[in-house]
Amino acid sequence: MIVPMAVRPSELLRDATPAVLTAVLVLIEMTPLGIPGLPPVAPSLTMIGVFHWAAFRPEIMPAWLAFLIGVLHDLASGAPLGLTGLVFILLQGVCASQRRWFLTTSFPIAWLLFALIAFGAGLVGWLLTCIYTLQLLDLVPMLMRAVITIAVYPPLSWLLGRVEQRLWAFG
């Protein structure tokens, strides 16, 4: 009989931190800024979080968790329930399948790959929304959101990378 090893509480906390941080990104993303002159399109901080953890630690950002974070995003934003979850499942699958590439590439190349993935995820979300609403929606807001998200990626990626280093420094 195989007896599973006991999981230390510190390991549970460590493994839960990325999910909690990504859920916090949902809340931050949904916070209205109300800054005059700022376009009404905000960056997809949640997408950056799912991308980071799925690319660099897919074992703690499995597809089911990416979907749940997407559903939380839909609930907070008023988007059709499950739409962002579906996009995040696809995002997680692409990132997890290319993990070796992300681990061995330079930051500028990873940023370029993120840009391609962000545009792709935006297009998939836009297309699914068009299908859901049965109308052709303006593509410009999606493109603006992707550009803003790509611009915000470096500092948020750096921050998530520092958190990752701290979490896995001792174990």
Residue-wise pLDDT tens digits, 3-13: 455 567 778 88
Which of these, 83, 91, 81, 104, lies nearest to 22 by C-alpha position? 91
- Is residue 35 a part of any domain in this protein? no
Sequence-distant (6+) residues with CB within 8 A of 83 are 70, 74, 125, 128, 129, 132
pLDDT, one tens digit per residue, over 100-115 is 888 899 999 999 999 9
Question: pLDDT tens digit string along 115-124?
Answer: 999 999 999 9
**Domain containing residue 98:** 43-167
Number of domains in the chain: 1
Q: What is the pTM of this model?
A: 0.90
Is residue 28 domain-resident?
no
Q: pLDDT tens-digit profile of 64-95?
A: 999 999 999 999 999 999 999 999 999 999 99
Residue 4 lies inside a defined structural domain of this protein: no
Look at residue 93 and tell me if it is in a domain: yes
Flag whether 5 is in a domain. no
